[in-house]
Structure 1
Amino acid sequence: MCNLHDSCVLKIAVASDLHAYQHIDGKPLESYLNVLGTTDSASNDPLQHLSNLITHEQLKADLFLSPGDLGNKASVEGIRYAWKSLHEIGDKLQAHLVTAASGNHDLDSRFQNYKYDPTEILQRLIPPYPLPNQVNNDQYWARKFALIQTEHYRLIVLNSAAYHGGQEDEINHGRISNLTIERIAEELSKSDIAPVNIILCHHHPQQFPEIFEDDDTYDIMKNGQQLLNLIGNGEHGNWIVIHGHKHHARVAYSQGYNSAPLVIAAGSFSAVIHPKLQTQARNQFYLLELPLDHQNGFVGTIRAWDWSPAGWSPAMPSGSGLPAVCKFGCRDAAQNLAGKINKILGNDQVANWSSILQEIPELDFLLPSDFKALVHALNNKKFNINVEFDNGIPKEIGRRQTI
């Protein structure tokens, strides 16, 4: 039995790619989480700032998930520090479960610290990793995944780095084997469909072309699309996949069926952002709010915060990764929605956006990318409708005069 903070909403906090490590003076900084303290002062610490944010905003979460890379380059000290810190933050959020999926930096695949087993760093962690129950952990290590079932959600914690330390080239990408997919299918067929179904993993199961460059396709989760096809075929409920790895946030529906899962690429919580990404990504923390029985079906809200040495603040409308508030759930085509709006506007020249939402409430749950497509559809010659914004929030629509 899972007791939620809000009986109608499942809340999930997400912090990905912490990359904690023991920094050496004179070397380039790779993460803002230094187990010996930050380079400037304790006040410039993303974890301390997150604790302050939780207190100030009175944030609560039912689950606290990390999509991997707790440490940097298999740093034993960093992984221990990050795992302990996640549980401390989880306690502050009053989360009933704190868990993580193994990232490529969490496996000692180059055998720097342990001669035989690249997973020993993780299997020695206290509290037990990745789940509190040892039976679940044995399943995670032996079968490459563990499934947690509650009244409100099903959670699959997937080890997409399971083969790191095996064949030499496996360290360059993630993988889910055919056998693991078959076993997940068996488990899903035996378990009950929950209102919310989640896969937590490290590597991306699909490419996002606007983020990943052509030469980055090598590090995708091999067989990832087969996994998405399995959970998106409509037989196993509504799914969200949460992954990390790329340090660039993005949210989109996967390709395939109209019940295809939502895929959330979480930005890095505290790694120093690569120069190529610094105009497109910031360090981010997330809180998902998922109504369990909404009139518009499977919908939700993702809240995002950016970090700077001054602390955590609501994410910027652009250039951060995810904006401060982003919603999902409306899958209607942009042209169809534009036609509905055009009909509501009729011969009127101007209307408040709030009045449009009253008529078409599902509009409030468009992904940012889908909302851009809607604005473009409204602007074309067929409708001649402009959308006016205030600080990135739609306020009014108006029909352009034609000559």
Structure 2
Amino acid sequence: MPSNSLKIAVVSDLHFVNRANVQDASYHSWLTITPEGNLDNNFWQSLIDKVKKDGIKADLLVCPGDITTHAEGSALKFAWGKLNELAAALECSILATATGNHDINSRGIDIGNPIRDLDKNHSLTENLKQLSPPYPLVNINQVESETDHINRIHYFGSDFLFAPNQDEYNLVILNSCASHTSDPISYERGFVSNTTHQWLESALKSSFDATNKKLGILVCHHHPIQHADHGIGTYDFMKGGTELLEMLNRYGNWIVIHGHKHHAKLSYHSDGSKKTVVFAAGTLSCHKQNLNDDFTNQFYVIDIDSSKTRGTPEGTLNVYSWQGNHWSLSKRRKDGVFTGVGFGDIGCLEELAEKISQAVSSVTGTDWGSIVEQFPQLKHCVPKDLDHLENNLQVYNVDVTTTADGEIDKLEKSEA
């Protein structure tokens, strides 16, 4: 892979669940563990097989949380092992995992016997602290060291981990669940405390070099900007999220990767004319019984130009969707985020639409692939950009046609 290509594989909201310990386990996730300690279907193995068959590689594997369901300890440990297995299959050097609300005991422990059940584990994060290799950051190809333990202490003590020692990027893993308690009002949303905000800014400021900037990547569970598409709620955004993004913008250009909503969305947060890329990863494996038609099980490989450290970060996405019995590269617009979208500076969409209209054959139309070859900035359109582009093309009597599966097929020009 080119030296300036940084590939990030993303899997989110896996919700591994142990059928023996969680009621209605199969409702929650495809990744259901049997009493014998095995997965009860081929869902996960199909993912591993797809990665190996297609030679899918990444520099780091990111998981924005909810690797298990209801913080059940046996499933959490099992899920951690499987994430490390996936990282190895992808030949990653780094596994970075943020804490999700289902990864901690914020919903409390059922008390059957008020005396005997006092021996149960009531700590919100004890199971996470006991994971091996040390959670939340794993250096895949290195022997576990004291540094890994120090990272773990820092993450659970300051609610973030800043890893600036990568050549191409700065990595921040943020624990947006750190302020959760068993109070239902608390565990429904994410938080960035004032202390976490201040300490993170201090760490970023001390390492920031304006003459030798690096791409910034922040991984967290909750969404720092509002995400209420398809009626999925406005109450659970990250408190302090806007302030967090504005602070990040003082120290380079950033890509934020989060989960929680189960719905994929690729957008920007604008701070003046400066834009932060915000990628909401859809759920890898939440069961279809728990989703509606606007949700799709997906995993992603983001290909980023790490040499572009000025202006909006630039990259493209390969999106793989679960097609009922196998994983497939998806270009379906109805999936929300699909192969063929990306992010970056693309200029004025109205001017771009006018230029594209002049390249469309008036009789036979022009294949979308040919249009993208002529206008490569289209590779960096977020899904909303393509919606706006389609509207602008209609001014020039150009229609976007799609296949039966919802993939953009060609542009056709009708008579005025």
- 2:7–2:58 CA contact under 8 A, matched in 1: yes
- Aligned ranges 1:3-402 → 2 under 5 Å: 6-24=2-20, 27=24, 29=26, 30-36=28-34, 44-112=41-109, 114-132=120-138, 133-149=148-164, 150-165=166-181, 169-192=185-208, 194-213=213-232, 216-232=233-249, 235-273=250-288, 275=290, 277-293=291-307, 298-315=313-330, 317-342=332-357, 344-345=358-359, 357=372, 360-380=375-395, 383-389=396-402, 392-398=407-413, 400-402=414-416
- 1:44–1:311 CA contact under 8 A, matched in 2: no
- 2:316–2:379 CA contact under 8 A, matched in 1: no
Q: CA deviation at 1:241?
A: 0.8
* 1:18–1:209 Cα change, 3 Å: closer
Q: CA deviation at 1:280?
A: 0.7
- 1:32–1:272 CA contact under 8 A, matched in 2: yes
The total of aligned residue pairs comes to 388
* 1:355–1:272 Cα change, 3 Å: closer
Q: CA deviation at 1:357?
A: 4.6
Taking structure 1 as the reference length, what is the TM-score of the superposition?
Answer: 0.86
- 2:32–2:39 CA contact under 8 A, matched in 1: no
Q: Secondary structure at the match of 1:64?
A: strand
Question: Percent of counterpart pairs with the same letter?
Answer: 32
- 2:362–2:412 CA contact under 8 A, matched in 1: no
- 1:148–1:154 CA contact under 8 A, matched in 2: yes
Q: CA deviation at 1:48?
A: 0.8
Q: CA deviation at 1:65?
A: 0.8
- 2:170–2:215 CA contact under 8 A, matched in 1: yes
- 1:108–1:121 CA contact under 8 A, matched in 2: no
* 1:38–1:302 Cα change, 3 Å: farther
Distance in 2, Cα, partners of 1:321 & 1:346 = 26
Q: CA deviation at 1:246?
A: 1.1
Q: Secondary structure at the match of 1:377?
A: helix
Distance in 1, Cα, partners of 2:18 & 2:361 = 65
Q: Secondary structure at the match of 1:61?
A: coil
Distance in 1, Cα, partners of 2:16 & 2:361 = 59
Q: Which runs of 5+ in 1 are unaligned?
A: none
* 1:257–1:135 Cα change, 3 Å: farther
Taking structure 2 as the reference length, what is the TM-score of the superposition?
Answer: 0.84
Distance in 1, Cα, partners of 2:361 & 2:300 = 42
- 2:320–2:328 CA contact under 8 A, matched in 1: yes
- 1:38–1:44 CA contact under 8 A, matched in 2: no
Q: CA deviation at 1:244?
A: 0.7
Distance in 1, Cα, partners of 2:161 & 2:387 = 37
* 1:16–1:346 Cα change, 3 Å: closer
Moved more, 59-68 or 188-197: 188-197
Q: Secondary structure at the match of 2:341?
A: strand
- 1:206–1:224 CA contact under 8 A, matched in 2: yes
Q: CA deviation at 1:207?
A: 1.5
Give the aligned residue type for 2:243.
Q
Q: CA deviation at 1:92?
A: 1.2
Give the aligned residue type for 1:124.
Q
Q: Secondary structure at the match of 1:245?
A: coil
Q: Which runs of 5+ in 2 are unaligned?
A: 110-118, 139-147
- 1:43–1:49 CA contact under 8 A, matched in 2: no
- 2:99–2:175 CA contact under 8 A, matched in 1: yes
Q: Secondary structure at the match of 1:395?
A: strand
Q: CA deviation at 1:139?
A: 1.5
* 1:28–1:373 Cα change, 3 Å: same
Q: CA deviation at 1:286?
A: 0.9
Deviation track 1:145-194 (CA, whole Å, cap 9, x = no partner) reads 01112110111000000011265521111111122222222222122465
Distance in 2, Cα, partners of 1:309 & 1:341 = 37
Q: CA deviation at 1:388?
A: 4.5
* 1:156–1:379 Cα change, 3 Å: same
Moved more, 41-50 or 191-200: 41-50
* 1:299–1:98 Cα change, 3 Å: same
Give the aligned residue type for 1:188.
L
